[in-house]
């Protein structure tokens, strides 16, 4: 989007390789599809002598050889999500969502998984709405003075003391609920951004061999949702063909069963196909190795859980980091050992190059800076609701969120017409 | 290469074995075609080769199947993955990954081949199957023929010795089918791969086969013979073989080329028969002329002295086609359905563009064209499930997408590509009761139709237990319950054997004779030749040809039925026409 349309694809792909550090001459084989060779070659050759020096750093076109590692996108998104979890300031949250949205708009492809971003946005809005609704219905411990309206209160029996249903609704509690909901929504939108930008199957390729089989199950399950939607559409059409209304509870019930049957049949067919194509071939390993693997993996995962909790709980940051580190090391050792059972090899896994470092690093930087900001400027990051004050935009945390825009400039540009 | 020793397969809960006493050896490096009517156990036999039967499907396998020296009793499918490649009927059910290149590599990754080998083989396979342009495309965006080629490619990369295919071309248009068959032949000839393939559409494949494995009936012992021997005795055979049997040719022709070499005497006999009786290209129950009358251009009675083909050609020459349907012609009042300047956009893609179509009562129209040409979309606009972006459609005087569904079922009925989408209930009787109340007709109407189309199916049968052909017949009965004047069928012969197809043709002819207009979207040129009065060819959402069947298909290499190709330039389409003409000469 920041570049003019006729791009010297071949040249920039090769340059991308140079920047990425590891791509050999083979990259031409996977050079962006859709551009005829003549167009691809000529402008590059013509522009070669007096190409400005910044051309070297221009983002290459996305192709198999230049593709950004899916893990980099996830790290970037998780960095933004961590940042979002550290603030309830709606302006900062809005900025984070905006940054994620901008990068998605600039760098997503038209692959099926890339369309999920809109769904996550809607989900975020739904979460905010739900949070507000519950706050209105169930009340809130936030003391408030600005009463907006009073709902009829439902008298509850004595054993349900402490729970309120209906009653006074104050501006303070609604603002608090909104801040809280917005935080959750921002987290969801960050996950949605990763989902839209990173191909789930590519991510699978980067999983340790021991996790591969579980990963396949997850990815196959994820492709089921779109299939189910397609089935529902088809069966609703078929209902119309028999002259029945397509809405209503009866329709849902009548369509539901065939949809589930269809899903089951398809999963059995995919399982048969995978089996016939060698899925699950294993190598023999001695029992001692198997047991060590289980112990290491379990211990490692426990460590990761405890460490993460410590980090996020805000009190236990002191012990959180080391425990997390030990957990990760144990789990990695377990996974590495577990990988001996698998005979699988990987076809053209994504490479982790300089651009991947930049993308992942930008996310980590945003997370780190906002965590720091939470310690230095708690008032700016968590605007008070009692008394009600208008949130102000803390300047330097906002500036640090903007670092998250970096991927929109360094990540490879998706081809304009991937599917015609 | 594949050795069957006294193999019988019995599924759990089944009374009789699905496959019995298979004792033969499929030779190495040949294309062996598995032939037989529906339900004789073709898919089961194919499943035993890959080990999916019985390891995956359950059931009991007696005897022994050995593939390249490996016994399938002791080797599970995944352990046979490096010697057997399996491609099923539905390529979409085969894919594990989402991008072409990854899909090609998937099998090799499972086998643990080194990355350099994988890379080389993927490039080779991309070239072999002509898929290089598609390497980065998501699989769901490909056409049917492309998907089938990717599915074949994905099992080829592991360099299997045996390739097992279950109806690889049944969902494809004629051109895409040729594409896939050319690839298979190349594999057999150049790489020495052993191919075992089942296919209902024998007219497409039998000439490529080196051997035919004939399963004549359920429970009968299969035989492995040459294609010519098999076709002499097989209960299922393509039109060219039927023609050969009728004319008493020996050896029986398997391809159009074989038949043309022997056809000269027949051609002269037919042309003399035609000139002496003045009834050449015979008009069966419903003659082609209504197409012309309805379009307001017919003056003289066709088929009167001159051959209709010639007359039609003359008529067409003098007639500017695009402007003609725009006239407010009075014969149009009787049309069952009309579409005028119909256009439809979907996701910024023009799926249909400027379609003019009239469907007079009692006429059968075949809609043809490659996968994705807009055939199903056109049917959907006629039935009202899609609203046109431009232009207008009327069916029985109403605009389909603005009419409530319960009223529409009495005017137009569509049997979708997958008839089971129409079936919700647990039993045939419940489906019929629901159809009666949906259409607002007397109880029992639907059941009577079902009994007519599907004799001997008990009320309490679950619709999913019916065979492909029976399910189609049930869906057809449900749709016909509302007595729609216009009947639409989307790809009705997919998965049907010749016997089921013959029954369907009979039923549809009866309906047309009762005044129902029938529109079928189909890739099956033989079906179109048997049934259609008029053929409409779509390409890129536009009508590129519209005229009587004999006119349109005889001149087209892709859409001509076998008989037309053999007897060109005569306008003969089906074996039954020839039989009638020969009978006429014999009685003189």
Check CB contact under 8 Å for A277 and B102. Answer: no
For the segment B140-157, the average pLDDT, to the nearest whole number, is: 87
For the segment A279-297, the average pLDDT, to the nearest whole number, is: 84
| Chain A residues closer than 8 Å to B406 by CB | 243-244
On whether the CB atoms of residues A90 and A181 are closer than 8 A, the answer is no
Q: Sign of dihedral through CA atoms A109, A110, A114, A120?
A: positive
* Best CA proximity match to A347, nearest among A238, A204, A163: A204
Check CB contact under 8 Å for A269 and B88. Answer: yes
pLDDT at site B588: 61
Q: pLDDT for B397-409, tens place per residue?
A: 889 888 888 888 8
Which of A5-14, A349-358, B332-341, B556-565 bottoms out in mean pLDDT, i.e. has the lowest? A5-14
Check CB contact under 8 Å for A347 and B119. Answer: yes
Q: Which of B86, B105, B383 sits opposite A241 (nearest CB)?
A: B383
Q: pLDDT for A329-367, tens place per residue?
A: 998 888 888 888 788 888 888 888 899 999 999 999 999
Distance CA B560, CA B570 (A): 12
| Chain A residues closer than 8 Å to B56 by CB | 271-272, 275
CA distances from A43 to A12, A37, A57, A59 (A): 11, 11, 18, 17
| Chain B residues closer than 8 Å to A240 by CB | 384-385, 405
- Chain B residue with CA closest to A245: the answer is B405
Does the pLDDT value for residue B307 go beyond 50? no
pLDDT at site B226: 93
Q: Between B458 and A30, where is the model more confident?
A: B458
Which of B54-63, B97-106, B459-468 bottoms out in mean pLDDT, i.e. has the lowest? B459-468
pLDDT band at A43 (very low <50, low <70, confident <90, very high): very low
- Chain A residue with CA closest to B477: the answer is A242
Does the pLDDT value for residue B278 go beyond 60? no
* Best CA proximity match to B207, nearest among B159, B260, B156: B260
Q: Between A147 and A32, where is the model more confident?
A: A147
pLDDT band at A317 (very low <50, low <70, confident <90, very high): low
Q: Is residue A169 classed as helix, strand or coil in its secondary structure?
A: strand
Q: Is residue B553 classed as helix, strand or coil in its secondary structure?
A: helix
Between A248-276 and A212-241, two packed helices, what is the crossing angle to 10 degrees? 140
Q: How far is B81 from chain A (nearest CA, A)?
A: 5
The tokens of B582 are what?
A: 């020969």
On whether the CB atoms of residues A366 and A401 are closer than 8 A, the answer is yes
Which B residues in the span 152-171 are in contact with A, Cβ-Cβ below 8 Å? 154-155, 158
pLDDT at site A117: 85
On whether the CB atoms of residues B519 and B484 are closer than 8 A, the answer is no
The tokens of B272 are what?
A: 């003399």
- Chain A residue with CA closest to B475: the answer is A242
Check CB contact under 8 Å for B99 and A33. Answer: no
Does the pLDDT value for residue A419 go beyond 60? no
pLDDT at site B297: 35
Rounded to two decimals, the ipTM of the complex is 0.77
DSSP string, B294-328: HTT---SPTTSSS-HHHHHHHHHHT--TTTGGGS-
Check CB contact under 8 Å for A348 and B101. Answer: yes
Q: How far is B347 from chain A (nearest CA, A)?
A: 12
pLDDT at site A121: 92
Check CB contact under 8 Å for A277 and B106. Answer: yes
- Chain B residue with CA closest to A346: the answer is B109
DSSP 8-state code for residue A61: B
Which A residues in the span 6-65 are in contact with B, Cβ-Cβ below 8 Å? 29-30, 33, 63-64
Q: Which of A29, A274, A415 sits opposite B96 (nearest CB)?
A: A274
Task: HSE, CB side, 13 Å, CA atoms: give it for residue B94.
Answer: 27
- Chain B residue with CA closest to A35: the answer is B133
Which of A91-95, B170-174, B438-442 bottoms out in mean pLDDT, i.e. has the lowest? B170-174
CA distances from A399 to A288, A381, A402, B358, B393 (A): 53, 13, 5, 66, 58
Does the pLDDT value for residue B59 go beyond 70? yes
Q: How far is A235 from chain B (nearest CA, A)?
A: 6
Which of A264-278, A364-378, B150-164 bottoms out in mean pLDDT, i.e. has the lowest? A264-278
Any B CB within 8 A of A233 CB: no
Q: pLDDT for A367-394, tens place per residue?
A: 999 999 988 888 888 888 888 888 888 9
Does the pLDDT value for residue A42 go beyond 70? no
pLDDT band at A400 (very low <50, low <70, confident <90, very high): very high
* Best CA proximity match to B383, nearest among B396, B371, B373: B396
Does the pLDDT value for residue B283 go beyond 80? no
pLDDT at site B64: 93
* Best CA proximity match to A349, nearest among A202, A142, A196: A202
For the segment A231-237, the average pLDDT, to the nearest whole number, is: 83
Q: Which residue has the tokens 């088809």?
A: A234
Q: Share the mean pLDDT of chain B.
A: 84
For the segment A201-212, the average pLDDT, to the nearest whole number, is: 77
DSSP 8-state code for residue A62: P
pLDDT at site A12: 40
pLDDT at site B295: 36
């Amino acid at each position: 989007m920041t570049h003019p349309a006729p791009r010297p694809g071949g040249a920039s792909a090769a340059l991308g390789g140079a920047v990425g550090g590891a791509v050999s001459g083979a990259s031409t084989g996977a050079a962006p599809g859709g551009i005829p060779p003549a167009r691809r070659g000529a402008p590059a050759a013509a522009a070669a002598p007096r190409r400005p020096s910044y051309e070297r750093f221009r983002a290459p076109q996305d192709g198999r050889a230049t593709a950004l590692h899916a893990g980099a996108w996830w790290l970037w998104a998780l960095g933004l999500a961590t940042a979002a979890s550290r603030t309830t300031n709606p302006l900062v949250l809005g900025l984070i969502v905006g940054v994620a949205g901008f990068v998605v708009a600039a760098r997503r492809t038209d692959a099926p998984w890339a369309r999920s971003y809109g769904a996550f946005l809607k989900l975020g809005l739904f979460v905010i709405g739900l949070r507000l609704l519950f706050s209105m219905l169930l009340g809130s411990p936030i003391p408030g003075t600005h009463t907006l309206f009073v709902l009829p209160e439902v008298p509850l029996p004595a054993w349900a003391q402490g729970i309120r249903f209906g009653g006074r609704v104050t501006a303070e509690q609604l603002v608090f609920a909104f801040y809280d909901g917005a935080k959750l929504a921002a987290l969801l939108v960050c996950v949605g951004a990763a989902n839209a930008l990173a191909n789930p199957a590519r991510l699978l390729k980067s999983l340790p061999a021991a996790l591969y089989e579980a990963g396949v199950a997850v990815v196959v399950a994820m492709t089921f949702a779109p299939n189910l939607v397609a089935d529902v559409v088809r069966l609703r059409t078929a209902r119309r063909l028999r002259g029945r209304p397509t809405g209503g509870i009866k329709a849902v019930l009548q369509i539901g069963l065939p949809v589930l049957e269809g899903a089951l049949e398809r999963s059995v067919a995919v399982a048969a196909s995978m089996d016939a194509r060698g899925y699950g071939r294993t190598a023999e390993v001695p029992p001692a190795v198997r047991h060590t693997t289980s112990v290491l993996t379990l211990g490692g995962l426990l460590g990761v859980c405890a460490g993460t909790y410590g980090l996020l709980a805000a009190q236990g940051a002191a012990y959180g980091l080391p425990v997390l580190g030990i957990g990760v090391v144990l789990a990695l050792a377990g996974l590495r050992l577990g990988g001996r059972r698998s005979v699988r090899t990987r076809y053209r896994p994504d490479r982790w190059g300089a651009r991947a470092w930049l993308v992942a690093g930008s996310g980590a930087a945003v997370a780190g800076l906002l965590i720091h900001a939470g310690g230095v400027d708690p008032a700016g990051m968590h605007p008070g609701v009692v008394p009600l004050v208008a949130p102000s935009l803390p300047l330097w945390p906002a500036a640090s969120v903007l670092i998250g825009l970096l991927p929109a400039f360094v990540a490879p540009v998706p081809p304009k017409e991937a599917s015609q | 290469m594949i050795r069957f020793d006294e193999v019988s397969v019995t599924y759990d809960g089944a009374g009789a074995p699905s496959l019995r006493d298979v004792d033969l050896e499929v030779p190495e490096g040949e294309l062996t075609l598995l032939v037989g009517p529906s339900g004789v156990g073709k898919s089961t036999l194919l499943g035993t080769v890959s080990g999916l039967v019985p390891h995956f499907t359950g059931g009991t396998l007696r005897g022994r199947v050995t593939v390249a020296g490996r016994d399938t009793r002791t080797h599970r499918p995944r352990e046979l993955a490096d010697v057997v490649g399996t491609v099923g009927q539905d390529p979409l059910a085969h894919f594990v990954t989402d991008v072409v290149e990854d899909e090609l590599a998937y099998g090799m990754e499972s086998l643990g081949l080194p990355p350099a080998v994988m890379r080389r083989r993927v490039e080779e396979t991309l070239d072999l199957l002509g898929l290089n342009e598609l390497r980065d495309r998501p699989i769901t965006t490909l056409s049917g023929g492309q998907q089938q080629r990717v599915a074949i490619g994905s099992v080829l990369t592991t360099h299997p010795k045996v390739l097992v295919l279950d109806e690889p071309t049944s969902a494809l248009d004629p051109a895409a089918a040729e594409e896939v068959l050319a690839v298979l032949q190349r594999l057999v000839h150049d790489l020495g791969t052993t191919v075992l393939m089942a296919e209902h559409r024998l007219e497409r494949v039998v000439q490529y086969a080196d051997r035919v494995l004939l399963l004549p009936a359920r429970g009968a012992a299969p035989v492995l013979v040459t294609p010519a021997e098999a076709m002499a005795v097989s209960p299922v055979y393509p039109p060219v073989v039927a023609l050969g049997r009728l004319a008493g040719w020996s050896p029986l022709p398997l391809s159009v080329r074989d038949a043309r070499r022997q056809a000269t005497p027949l051609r002269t006999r037919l042309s003399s028969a035609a000139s002496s009786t003045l009834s050449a290209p015979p008009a069966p129950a419903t003659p082609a002329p209504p197409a012309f009358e309805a379009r307001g251009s017919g003056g003289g009675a066709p088929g009167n002295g001159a051959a209709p083909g010639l007359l039609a050609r003359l008529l067409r020459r003098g007639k500017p086609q695009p402007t003609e349907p725009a006239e407010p012609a009075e014969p149009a009042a009787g049309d069952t359905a009309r579409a005028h300047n119909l256009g439809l956009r979907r996701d910024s893609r023009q799926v249909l563009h400027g379609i003019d179509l009239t469907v007079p009562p009692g006429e059968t129209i075949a809609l043809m064209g490659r996968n994705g040409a807009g055939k199903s979309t056109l049917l959907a606009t006629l039935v009202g499930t899609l609203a046109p972006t431009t232009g207008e459609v009327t069916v029985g005087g109403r605009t389909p997408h603005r009419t409530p569904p319960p009223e529409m079922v009495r005017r137009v009925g569509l049997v979708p590509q997958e008839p089971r989408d129409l079936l919700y209930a647990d039993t045939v009787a419940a489906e019929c009761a629901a159809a009666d109340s949906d259409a607002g007709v007397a109880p029992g109407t639907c059941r009577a139709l079902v009994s007519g189309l599907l004799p001997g199916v008990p009320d309490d049968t679950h619709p999913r237990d019916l065979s492909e052909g029976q399910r189609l017949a049930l869906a057809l009965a449900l749709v016909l319950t509302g007595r729609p004047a216009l009947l639409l069928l989307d790809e009705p012969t997919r998965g049907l054997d010749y016997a089921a197809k013959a029954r369907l043709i009979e039923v549809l002819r009866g309906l047309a004779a009762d005044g129902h207009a029938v529109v079928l979207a189909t890739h099956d040129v033989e079906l179109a030749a048997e049934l259609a009065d008029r053929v409409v060819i779509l390409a890129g959402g536009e009508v590129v040809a519209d005229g009587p069947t004999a006119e349109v298909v005889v001149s087209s290499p892709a859409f001509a039925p076998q008989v037309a190709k053999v007897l060109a330039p005569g306008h003969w389409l089906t074996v039954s026409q020839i039989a009638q003409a020969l009978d006429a000469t014999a009685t003189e």
